[in-house]
Amino acid sequence: MATRVEDQAGALAQRFAATRALSLALVDPLSDADATVQSMPDASPAKWHLAHTTWFFETFVLRDHVAGYEAFDPRFAFLFNSYYEAEGARHARDRRGLLTRPTLDGVRAWRAAVDAALARALPRLPADAVALVELGIHHEQQHQELLLTDILHLFGENPLAPAIWDRPRPAPAVHPGPIRWIEGRQGIVEIGHDGGGFAFDCEGPRHAALLHPHALADRPVTNAEWQSFVDDGGYTRPDHWLSDGWAWVRAEGISAPLHWRQVNGRWHQFALDGMHPLHPAAPVTHISYYEAEAFARWAGARLPTEAEWEASAAGMDPTAGNQLDAAGPVRPRAAPVGDGLRQMFGDVWEWTGSAFLPYPGFRPAAGAVGEYNGKFMSAQFVLKGASCATPRGHSRASYRNFFHPHQRWQFTGVRLARDL
């Protein structure tokens, strides 16, 4: 009879294999050219995502914990290290799109070799190396979402507006109706990861937070509501905007969410399944913190704090909602009709008004993996929940996604809050 340790190792091996297979399936429709081009410095080529996640396993697990392991190609360490200063020099981020070699098939061959080596080594790895495999799986899931949004941005730059997955869309849903306000918890609450299961280091330590009387909107803001903001001159009136946000709007010529297009006088939206008329009931997505904050002011509300959002989501099932299960079109869905808070997980990441800063008592891990989150705790804002491109099972109430306030190529949306 298998021991508990053997069962855990077998389950980990299955999750590793499934995660690696999903990444390959996501890029299966791409040509080598599709997978090589970089649309902007914030995005990375699809081929680079496949390679970087492979470098992570080869470096931190196989190189450091498997005696006698030899790198598939020692030159790849320079090409596919992302930001780990402890691992030495690396290829510049904004020049990743110039890596025509290795080819996409060459990267696939490297992945296959690393996967086989890790599968052989996994039953004999020490506990600290097993923990790195777990971290690597969650790291690759993060890159699966980045991969999809980077592909979307790349294809959105193509005047042909090509679809990656061309499949029929479901019939538009009925609009969910006016926002309902759900009173949130008050007083002293505990937030941060509770220690059960996997979490990234930035999710802890668990600590107390004080919540003042407030309410959250029962659902995210919809496209129809955002169009009202646009029609009311929301992008042309500085009184709605933070100073930095207004400067960004003017400098970049922003007049609508990313991927919104006017076609014959009507708003359309570009998605992974091509260009479609704007779905009025779906949550608005691809908006920046600046846009979310301006909309909240226009609506007479504000953004929720990270603690308000997390306290309200505590106890909810983070695997529910519209999230990524398999390769294919990913699209935000309309809100279902019901009572209470809806769509807390899935469809769109939700901006909060909280800066991404360390929790009381936070200490980064020792070594290179300690660079994973802590050094980015500057000038970024927290998003909570999950999106339609988040692999199901990856998120939780304590999860802290974070981006700079001007960034909006991810599936980012907004849920309003207000004081009581």
> Quick one: CA dihedral 238, 239, 245, 247, positive or negative?
positive
Instruction: Read off the pLDDT of residues 293-339 as tens digits, 9 standing for 90 and up.
Output: 999 999 999 999 999 999 999 999 999 999 999 999 888 988 887 78
CB 373 within 8 A of CB 365: no
- Mean pLDDT rounded to a whole number for the chain: 95
Q: What is the dihedral of CA 66, 67, 68, 70, to 10 degrees?
A: 30
> Quick one: CA dihedral 38, 41, 43, 49, positive or negative?
positive
| Domain ranges across the chain | 4-156, 181-419
Q: What is the pLDDT of residue 370?
A: 81
**pLDDT confidence tier of residue 6, bands split at 50, 70 and 90:** low
Taking the C-alpha atoms of residue 349 and residue 413, their distance in angstroms, rounded to an integer, is 6
Q: Choose the weakest-confidence range: 39-43, 144-148, 249-253, 363-367.
A: 363-367
**368 token code pair:** 């290179």
Reply yes or no on whether the pLDDT at 3 is more than 60. Answer: no
Q: What is the CATH number of domain 181-419?
A: 3.90.1580.10
Instruction: Read off the pLDDT of residues 343-393 as tens digits, 9 standing for 90 and up.
Output: 999 999 999 999 999 999 999 887 778 877 789 899 999 999 999 999 999
Taking the C-alpha atoms of residue 319 and residue 396, their distance in angstroms, rounded to an integer, is 8
**157 token code pair:** 């730059």
Tell me whether the CATH fold assigned to 4-156 matches the one assigned to 181-419. Answer: no
Q: Which residues contact 140 (CB under 8 A, 6 or more apart)?
A: 19, 20, 23, 53, 56
Report CA 123 to chain centroid distance, whole Å. 31
Q: What is the pLDDT of residue 334?
A: 87
Instruction: Read off the pLDDT of residues 49-62 as tens digits, 9 standing for 90 and up.
Output: 999 999 999 999 99
Q: What is the pLDDT of residue 409?
A: 98
**pLDDT confidence tier of residue 1, bands split at 50, 70 and 90:** very low
Q: Looking up tokens 């990234």, which residue turns up?
A: 200
Strands 266-271 and 274-277: antiparallel
Q: Which residues contact 186 (CB under 8 A, 6 or more apart)?
A: 211, 212, 213, 214
The amino acid sitting at 310 is: E
Taking the C-alpha atoms of residue 76 and residue 78, their distance in angstroms, rounded to an integer, is 5
Taking the C-alpha atoms of residue 297 and residue 301, their distance in angstroms, rounded to an integer, is 6
Whole-number Cα distances in Å, 141 to 22, 26, 71, 146: 9, 12, 23, 9
Q: What is the CATH number of domain 4-156?
A: 1.20.120
**pLDDT confidence tier of residue 193, bands split at 50, 70 and 90:** very high
Picking from 414, 91, 373, the residue whose alpha carbon sits closest to that of residue 283 is 414
Instruction: Read off the pLDDT of residues 142-164 as tens digits, 9 standing for 90 and up.
Output: 999 999 999 999 999 999 999 99
Taking the C-alpha atoms of residue 257 and residue 227, their distance in angstroms, rounded to an integer, is 10
